[in-house]
């Protein structure tokens, strides 16, 4: 069974730039959620995708957007990067849209300078 | 306003003793609770969960207790092992934004041998 994978591991961007982060869900899982974890904080929910449709969204501005593909992999796009966007971005997959138990990838560390 | 609170940033326990990690919540609509463990440079790992219709769930050395009237849950680890040293996150969901998880800030557990 393949776990959740994310790429890249680390990324450095400049304020105002755009970034795309990628996630492959665990085999057999069709739901993907994205979280932002700032230093010293718990993960904060960004949005969730189920079968290529957004299934819920947290309190993040529209410049945070996502996609889910037919193979259930997913992308997180952030436009007009700000310094406060520097964080660990975590992707989690679950078996379906009613399953609370989510399985996380190792994360992408984004630094905005 | 933080809906899930872990008021102890850290906890130190000797090997073989019991570790008790606490979590308080404010949203009475939460219907599912989870505990995750996180090692440095890894994503959170699912440990154990409990539905709001139960007051206890046990899995090996890990037991979660839920007190709905007090809006409090706790994770007991018995016996504690050095490999349990990690950051522990309490999370909850009210099924309002898909199965989005609301996390606490975490408690760092150190188990000494």
- pLDDT tens-digit readout, B12-40: 999 999 999 999 999 999 999 999 999 98
Q: For A98, which of B43, B99, B103 is closest by C-beta distance?
A: B99
Question: What value does the mean pLDDT take over residues B94-107?
Answer: 87
A75 by Cβ neighbours in 10 Å (0-12 / 13-18 / 19+) ranks as middle
Cβ of A105 and B32 within 8 Å?
no
pLDDT at A101: 87
Q: What is the largest CA-CA distance in chain B?
A: 43
Best of A100, A102, A105 to substitute, by most chain B Cβ atoms within 10 angstroms, is: A100
Best of B36, B44, B95, B108 to substitute, by most chain A Cβ atoms within 10 angstroms, is: B44
DSSP-based three-state secondary structure for A5: strand
- pLDDT, tens only, A26-75: 988 999 999 999 999 999 999 999 999 998 999 999 999 999 999 999 99
Q: Which residues contact A71 (CB under 8 A, 6 or more apart)?
A: none
Q: Which of these ranges, A17-21, A76-80, A97-101, B43-47, has the smallest mean pLDDT? A: A97-101
Residues of B in contact with A92 (CB under 8 A): 43
Cβ of B43 and A90 within 8 Å?
yes
């Amino acid at each position: 069974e393949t776990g959740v994978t994310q790429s890249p591991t680390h990324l450095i961007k400049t304020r105002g730039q755009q970034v795309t982060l990628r996630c492959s869900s665990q085999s057999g899982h069709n739901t993907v959620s994205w979280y932002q974890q700032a230093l010293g904080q718990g993960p904060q929910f960004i949005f969730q995708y189920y079968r290529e449709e957004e299934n819920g969204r947290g309190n993040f501005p529209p410049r945070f957007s996502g996609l889910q593909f037919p193979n259930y992999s997913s992308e997180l796009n952030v436009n007009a990067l700000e310094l406060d966007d520097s964080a660990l971005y975590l992707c989690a997959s679950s078996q379906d849209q009613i399953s609370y138990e989510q399985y996380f990838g190792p994360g992408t560390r984004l630094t905005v300078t | 306003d933080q809906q899930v609170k872990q008021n102890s940033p850290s906890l130190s326990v000797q090997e073989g003793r019991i570790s008790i990690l606490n979590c308080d919540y404010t949203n009475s609509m939460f219907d599912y609770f989870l505990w995750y463990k996180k090692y440095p440079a890894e994503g959170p790992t699912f440990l154990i969960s409990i539905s709001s219709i139960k007051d206890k769930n046990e899995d090996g050395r890990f037991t979660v207790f839920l007190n709905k009237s007090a809006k409090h849950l706790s994770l007991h680890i018995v016996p504690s092992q050095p490999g349990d040293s990690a950051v522990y996150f309490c999370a909850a969901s009210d099924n309002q934004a898909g199965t989005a998880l609301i996390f606490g800030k975490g408690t760092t557990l150190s188990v000494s041998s």
